[in-house]
Chains A and B, each alone.
Chain A
Amino acid sequence: MKKLLIMCGTGIATSTVVKGKVEEWLKENNLSKEVKIYQSKVSDEINRIDEYDVVLSTTLVPDKIRDKVIDGVPLLTGIGIDTMYEKVLAEIKR
């Protein structure tokens, strides 16, 4: 089971929307059983980011964890969604 973290600044608004969309996508791609989703805010996760296999964020993250994080904003603007999901899939399959 892969651990997928979705985070935003508050862990309340945008991460909730992104979570809903990612759940749908996992279902459509028959990946629901392979991935467990976690939702949180950036400040709570900085020091334990390596516990997750995939990380999506709708906010800017500190430099030290930037390489680990995939930009989730495409799910809010509709721009660049395919490229974003390719990255997510690559991390799930890794």
Chain B
Amino acid sequence: MKLDKELALINVDAASKEEVLELLGNKLLDKGFVKKGFVGSVLQREASYPTGLPTQPYGVAIPHTDGDMVNESKIAFASLKNPVRFTAMGQGDVEVEVKLVFMLALKNPADQLETLQKLVGLFQDPETVSQLAGVKDAEELNGLVASKE
């Protein structure tokens, strides 16, 4: 995978998950990768089908929505200065302190499957999660992901 430079936000100061979702969604919108309703749709979907993953040492979230809101499949990334709370995926009542957000703009299931599988593999290793939280830019992020082949 390769993350676009302008789609990686590092050490973001955000007070809530909504703020992070809007920030990342608007980045994707600015570049024309998603349609206008994308951000609203992600927010709504996050409320019904939360995407927080209770990984260690920090939680990760992978917000996304239906493919019809997407023009071009992309992944946007944010590392957060302070964790914000997401609800855990598959559970209505568990909260996860999330420090890494990968917003998935996917047009159809096959898009970036390898990337997704790889990302999920990275999340399962606490040392890698820790390293992801410390990257300084998209280049370092891409380098880290590539080094985990």
**Interface of A with B (CB < 8 Å)?**
8-17, 20-21, 39, 42, 57-60, 71-73, 75-79
Decide if B89 touches A58 in the complex (CB within 8 Å): yes
Please, how many angstroms separate the alpha-carbon atoms of A79 and B110 in the complex?
25
User: B54 contacts the other chain (Cβ, under 8 Å)?
Assistant: yes
Please, how many angstroms separate the alpha-carbon atoms of A17 and B89 in the complex?
14
Shortest Cβ gap from A71 to chain B (Å): 5
User: B82 contacts the other chain (Cβ, under 8 Å)?
Assistant: no
With contacts A10-B45, A20-B113 taken as known, whether A60 is within 8 angstroms of B67 at the C-beta atoms is no
Decide if A77 touches B53 in the complex (CB within 8 Å): yes
**Sample (6) of A-B pairs whose CB atoms are under 8 Å apart:** A9-B49, A11-B109, A16-B110, A60-B92, A72-B90, A73-B91
Q: Which residues of A contact B51 (CB under 8 A)?
A: 14
Decide if the interface of chain B is mainly helix, strand, loop or mixed.
loop
Known contacts A10-B45, A12-B109; 11 further A-B pairs (Cβ under 8 A): A12-B106, A16-B113, A17-B116, A21-B117, A39-B109, A60-B49, A71-B90, A75-B120, A77-B53, A77-B124, A78-B55
Decide if A77 touches B123 in the complex (CB within 8 Å): yes
Decide if B117 touches A17 in the complex (CB within 8 Å): yes
Count of chain B residues near A, Cβ 8 A: 30
**Interface of B with A (CB < 8 Å)?**
45, 48-51, 53-55, 62, 64-67, 88-92, 104, 106, 108-110, 113, 116-117, 120, 123-125
Closest to B55 in A: A77
Shortest Cβ gap from B32 to chain A (Å): 20
